[in-house]
Amino acid sequence: MKIAENTFNSPYQADKNGFYGRFGGAYIPEMLYPNVEELQLKYKEILADPSFQEEFQQLLTDYVGRPSPLYLAKRLSEKYGGHIYLKREDLNHTGAHKINNTVGQILLAKRLGKKRIIAETGAGQHGVATATVCALMNMECVVYMGSVDIKRQAPNVARMKMLGATVVPATSGSETLKDATNEAIRDWINNPVNTHYILGTAAGPHPYPDMVARFQSVISEEIRKQLLEKTGKEIPDYVVACIGGGSNAAGAFYHFLDEPSVRLIAVEAAGHGNDSGESAASTVLGKVGLIHGAKTLLMQTDDGQITEPYSISAGLDYPGIGPMHAHLFESGRGTFLSATDNEALAAAFELTRLEGIIPALESSHAVAKLKDLALRPEEVVVVCLSGRGDKDMEAYIRNLDKF
């Protein structure tokens, strides 16, 4: 395995300034410039370094437990047609795809000589994955998390604390992922020398979207190999993934971006419905704007104030999407769907009962759209099952008698 090298000249990859079409870039105040510039100048070189590759691959294998299985979900396939494979990121150490990125970034932080790590988290999976690698590497760890999310993802807060991280509540705005990210960025501004910011999704200023996508690209690299072994063909008809900022989707799509026959399906959170005023579906409700240093599709008022999103899923409760995805949307390369809270809950219960797999609420949004694909019997679908549902048991129990 090798971390994706940008050797092909894909229109769906970041250009040298971090733009995907008209989206991306690095719109940051001067106080962040030296840190972000350092990353921009060094990330490709560090990622390409053989000793980095070796350490990264070893940790992915021995610590994360990769490759993650590609599982043919027979009963789900019977119900929706086609051959539905689940890419089991939920079986990774710490329970989600987030660890692929944090392992990569902690190794990078070490090579940059950083001593202190900060992160934002929504569902808490990225916070746990960051606290985990910080424990492993003996680094100080501070995680910012919206107060609303601290309540709705309590098990992950406990895990972070046990792992030795300091969890700082973000109390502004809707007290969710956007606000946690604001606080993490402010921390970085105030600690310009010794701190690395492990951003947890394919968003933020260049080079984060590209760097995170590269660390997550192991997902599609494995899918290709595993499909070849299982079906004799590397290329599926569909790849389906949920989108908060877009890191699991970026990883699952990465090695299929330039395979035009593969339909890339991105699923956003529609909360109570896209007309309800309580949704997080940025491609439906957003316009071009700037959030967290990147130009992308953003939910906002006519006055350009960022609006507060809503989703039952803390990991998808974000008013923007990563710039790669904004470009996939605008160029038509990706198909963007959205799933409501209720559709996601129904999908979670169905997957649990058909396959014995309790998914994370985020991942359930991806599973929920299988019903909309109208699959033909011969078609092959890969759904990125980005995480497991342990953290969401409270929401599931609350809804047990509805489904």
Partner 1 sequence: MNRIDQLFAQKKQNVLNVYCTAGFPTLESTLPVMQALQSAGADLIELGMPFSDPLADGPVIQDSSTQALKNGMTLARLFEQLKDFRSSIQLPVILMGYLNPILQMGVENFCRQCAAVGVDGLILPELPLPEYEKEYQAIFEKYGLYLIFLVTPETSEARLRRLDAASKGFLYAVSSSSTTGKDKDMGDQTAYFRKLQALHLKNPVLIGFGIKDKGTFTTACTYSNGAIIGTAFIKAIANANDALPATVKSFIQGIIA
Ligand X SMILES: Cc1ncc(COP(=O)(O)O)c(C=O)c1O
Contact between 204 and ligand X (CB under 6 A)?
A: no
Among 10-18, 229-237, 242-250, 292-300, which window interacts with ligand X (CB under 6 A)? 242-250
Nearest-approach distance from CB 18 to partner 1, in angstroms:
11
**Residue among 240 and 249 whose Cβ is closer to ligand X:** 249
SS (H, E, C) 219-268: HHHHHHHHHHHHHCCCCCCEEEEECCCCHHHHHHHHHHCCCCCCEEEEEE
- Which of 60, 70, 91, 96 contacts ligand X by CB under 6 A? 96
Closest CA to 241 of 252, 233, 231, 226: 252
What residue 122 binds from ligand X, partner 1, none (CB within 5 to 8 A, per partner kind)? ligand X
Contact between 248 and ligand X (CB under 6 A)?
A: yes
Residues 356-375 that bind ligand X (CB under 6 A): 360, 362-363
What residue 120 binds from ligand X, partner 1, none (CB within 5 to 8 A, per partner kind)? none
* SS3 call for 93: helix
CA-CA distance, 398 to 314, in Å (whole number)? 16
Burial of 101 (0-12, 13-18, 19+ CB in 10 A): buried
Nearest-approach distance from CB 123 to partner 1, in angstroms:
21
Tell me whether strands 116-121 and 83-88 are parallel, antiparallel or unpaired: unpaired
Cis omega (within 30 of 0) on the bond before 209? Answer: no
Angle of helix 98-111 relative to helix 33-48, nearest 10 degrees, comes to: 100
**Residue among 11 and 304 whose Cβ is closer to partner 1:** 304
Query: Which one from 87, 363, 386, 391 is the annotated catalytic residue?
Result: 386
CA-CA distance, 80 to 91, in Å (whole number)? 24
Contact between 126 and ligand X (CB under 6 A)?
A: yes
Query: Which one from 98, 114, 178, 391 is the annotated catalytic residue?
Result: 98
Q: Which amino acid is at 171?
A: T
**Residue among 305 and 394 whose Cβ is closer to ligand X:** 394
Query: Which one from 77, 87, 89, 120 is the annotated catalytic residue?
Result: 120
Contact between 270 and ligand X (CB under 6 A)?
A: no
Contact 294/323 with Cβ under 8 angstroms?
Answer: yes
Closest CA to 56 of 89, 105, 9: 105
CA-CA distance, 220 to 210, in Å (whole number)? 15
87 counts as catalytic: no
Contact between 350 and ligand X (CB under 6 A)?
A: no
What residue 125 binds from ligand X, partner 1, none (CB within 5 to 8 A, per partner kind)? ligand X
What residue 309 binds from partner 1, ligand X, none (CB within 5 to 8 A, per partner kind)? none
Applying CB under 6 A, the site for ligand X has a residue count of 21
Contact between 245 and ligand X (CB under 6 A)?
A: yes
147 counts as catalytic: no
Nearest-approach distance from CB 119 to partner 1, in angstroms:
16
Residue number of the CB closest to ligand X reads 387
Burial of 241 (0-12, 13-18, 19+ CB in 10 A): buried
120 counts as catalytic: yes
**Residue among 65 and 173 whose Cβ is closer to partner 1:** 173
Nearest-approach distance from CB 127 to partner 1, in angstroms:
20
Residues that bind partner 1 (CB under 8 A): 25-31, 33-34, 172-173, 178, 182, 185-186, 189-190, 192-193, 287-293, 298, 300, 302-307
DSSP 8-state secondary structure symbol assigned to residue 275:
T
Residues whose CB is less than 8 angstroms from the CB of residue 339 and which lie 6 or more positions away in sequence, other chains included = 267, 268, 269, 270, 347, 364, 365, 366, 368, 369
Q: Which residues bind ligand X (CB under 6 A)?
A: 96, 122-123, 125-126, 201, 242-249, 315-316, 360, 362-363, 386-387
List the catalytic residues: 98, 120, 386
